[in-house]
Structure 1
Amino acid sequence: MGAGGRTRHRRSALTRRLRTCVLVVKTRCCRVCVTTVGLLSLLGVCLSYLQDPPLPAPQHHSAATLLIWTHPFGRSGTLPDCYALYRIPGCTLTDDLRAYPHAEAVLIHHREVATGAAELPPEPRPRAQKWIWMNYESPTHTASLWRFEGLMNLTMSYRADSDIFLPYGFLVPRVRRDRGLQNRQPQVSRLLRPHLVAWVISNWSESHARVAFYYQLRRYIRVDLFGDAGRPVPEDGAGGSVVRLLRRYLFYLALENSQHTDYITEKLWNALRAGAVPVVLGPSRQNYEQFLPPEAFIHVEDFPTVRGLARYLLMLRRNPSQLRRHLDWRRSYSVRQPEFWAEHYCTACRAVRRSRGHTGVVKNLTRWFWL
């Protein structure tokens, strides 16, 4: 299948799945009306179902060998047992380059090849072998894409239109066993936290929009700064933890280093896990709503001025009933963050098994990734 055909196939599949989610929402909600807010909330959660369901018990003859060409950022370790951890059978993972001649697919992390720390696998490649391009950096921080043009068979990234889609995080619907939970209010600890706003940052650059935003915001309210550019993240017996830190704050600045489609990183998901309300700077609000209910976050572009945003945060601290609007969605969903990089390896291997017989080449990788 050509790149154009594969793209249309992906979009068609995505459209069918989203339409299915809409049908479920409509049948379960009141027949009188379904509010726009509720619909967008559940459509965003539908993205969490885009991963394929677990396959049946593994069969030896259908197993696939996936070669990890380079460990991302040099962080090598024991390769995961995909079936034991994620119920993904039939996957043999290896980082032994001697397995290249008989590997069904090769997973290539962009950074190592782009920086010259590693070379691409040798040509000619074994017959029907797939090369998978994996990258979790934004386009702004992804150099030398030209080196991969016309060579990759599959893409894997945080982008929803990747061949293999695994985001930084997603929501999972809670199973309700007690109808009384429907009316339960958020825990008091989430409304009575000792501190207002925190920001953890290690990659400080005066050219980033997020740094300019921080300079403006701190003129109106206190922002506690942590990381390499501020105070160290407090440590305890388990080591430093951003999530534990954020449990003391009402709001967290989830500011991305650059603004691109679907580029919503662990910054936001860490805040949600900690029960803090994220204040986001990244892609558009509409893009965030593909992953989250509208009230789950506060977008900096919701306000004409930074001063207006600061006043809104102060108002929420004084009015718990208003703050609950940003927390009520937690009664319906829990937060899920994939484990780097074990789950990525296993998800890629599952995709290889499901795409046997398709060896189309990804064309215009650079243009697609920058859209």
Structure 2
Amino acid sequence: MGPPCGREAGGRRRRRRGRGQLESALALAAAGLMCTALAAYVCWEQLPPLPWTSPAPQQPVSVLLWWEPFRGRGADERPPPDCRLRFNISGCRLLTDRSAYGEAQAVLFHHRDLAKGPPDWPPPWSARGDAAEDVLEQAALATLGSRPPGQRWVWMNFESPSHSPGLRSLTGNLFNWTLSYRADSDVFVPYGYLYPRNHPSDQPPGLAPPLARKRGLVAWVVSHWDEHQARVRYYHQLSQHVPVDVFGQGGHGRPVPDSGLLHTVARYKFYLAFENSQHLDYITEKLWRNALLAGAVPVVLGPDRANYERFVPRGAFIHVDDFPSASALATYLLFLHRNPAAYRRYFHWRRSYAVHITSFWDEPWCRACQAVQTAGEQPKSIGNLAHWFER
């Protein structure tokens, strides 16, 4: 009986060595992915400049917000923001009183409020500047001649095409400009962005979150759970190989603690910055606020890696597309968990950049004013809004 037991024990040792070698190979392969990204990041000198970073003359401009987003029609008006104090944009007169419609150089229409309820458009504008008495069809209101000369109608939307109902009904050159998270919008306002630090340093204090405070591995905060969404399907696959603590509503996660979302996520090494749908440039607060600002390494699911790299250094995040399976991604996360030096490399970008979180809705309002100040007089209209936004 002795020799067979010895052979069996030797077989177990060989199998353990085999599993260990496999895990090591996977870890090295995963590390290679990271090192490739880091090497590219070293060669990548700076983020592309934002369109409003160059100085420009600031002329007096009036911008009317037709509805305050998500407040409902008829809600009490809140005072407009001070663009100069908030964003160093002077010369802005922000309006909420519709009686001042004829004085506005631009009018902002929020899509979600535009799409729900009965049509609520400005009245057609006569040559005398008086509102016409006749009630015209919506199509008639859509013509460029139904508004004061030179006035721009701006379509504003921060939802993805998948969550923008009624988009295809907005036809007939209704709008002159678009304002959204899309980089090819007339007024580009992302959910967040990185901006250069004034005094970059090789060893700035407090930029890499202390690992001793990170008691958890992977966190995910989700407010709308839909089993048909790619993010939920991927979570089910990933959670089979690595523990994921889920926070949210609707019975699919524990409540966010009273300390708040940022303090909660800061205790984790990784955050699942999974978007509810995958579209061009649709990169929301899940990346900017929930992950980067909180101090967790983002694991992203959204547009492709190249799209993210237009706005974030490639060595600052992990993309699910970098791995052939959720199991391979889990192996890499566990590798980083066991190797603090490799994990800390994901915070090297903080030496040169800081995170700005877009303030809604005052910042888009002020950016629209700034865009009018810097725009020329060339007329423009959006002939097929849905075709542009859904592509």
What is the TM-score of this pair, normalised by structure 1?
0.82
The 2-side partners of 1:114 and 1:355 are apart by 28
Displacement of 1:78:
2.4
Cα gap change, 1:242/1:192 in structure 2, threshold over 3 Å: closer, same or farther?
A: closer
> What are the Cα deviations for residues 180-223 of structure 1, in whole angstroms up to 9, with x where unaligned?
538x8964614751100110011111110000011111111111
Q: Does structure 1 residue 130 correspond to structure 2 residue 149?
A: no
* Structure 1 counterpart of 2:240, from 208, 213, 219: 219
- Matched to 2:100, the amino acid is A
Percent sequence identity over matched residues?
Answer: 47
The 2-side partners of 1:131 and 1:296 are apart by 38
- Matched to 1:148, the amino acid is L
> What are the Cα deviations for residues 68-94 of structure 1, in whole angstroms up to 9, with x where unaligned?
001111175321011121111111001
> What residue is the counterpart of 1:22 in the other structure?
none
Identify the range of structure 1 (359-368 vs 243-252) with the bigger mean alpha-carbon deviation: 359-368
> What are the Cα deviations for residues 206-249 of structure 1, in whole angstroms up to 9, with x where unaligned?
1100000111111111111101131111114xxxx321211101
Contact 2:191 2:358 in 1 (8 A): yes
- Matched to 1:112, the amino acid is D
**Equivalent residues in 2 for 1:239-254 (5 A)?**
241-254=260-273
> What residue is the counterpart of 1:171 in the other structure?
194
> What residue is the counterpart of 2:61 in the other structure?
64
Contact 2:63 2:93 in 1 (8 A): yes
> What are the Cα deviations for residues 282-334 of structure 1, in whole angstroms up to 9, with x where unaligned?
00000000111111110011100101101111111110111122111211111
**Equivalent residues in 2 for 1:1-371 (5 A)?**
36-40=40-44, 42=46, 45-47=47-49, 49-53=50-54, 55=56, 62-74=59-71, 77-116=78-117, 119-123=120-124, 124-149=146-171, 150-176=173-199, 181=203, 187=208, 189-190=210-211, 193-228=214-249, 229-236=252-259, 241-270=260-289, 271-371=291-391
Structure 1 unaligned regions, length at least 5: 1-34
Displacement of 1:127:
1.7
The 2-side partners of 1:348 and 1:133 are apart by 11
- Count of matched residue positions in the alignment of Structure 1 and Structure 2: 325
Contact 1:41 1:294 in 2 (8 A): no
Displacement of 1:121:
2.3
Contact 1:41 1:292 in 2 (8 A): no
- Matched to 2:390, the amino acid is W
- Matched to 1:64, the amino acid is V
Contact 1:112 1:118 in 2 (8 A): no
Rg larger in 1 or in 2? Answer: 2
Identify the range of structure 1 (118-127 vs 107-116) with the bigger mean alpha-carbon deviation: 118-127
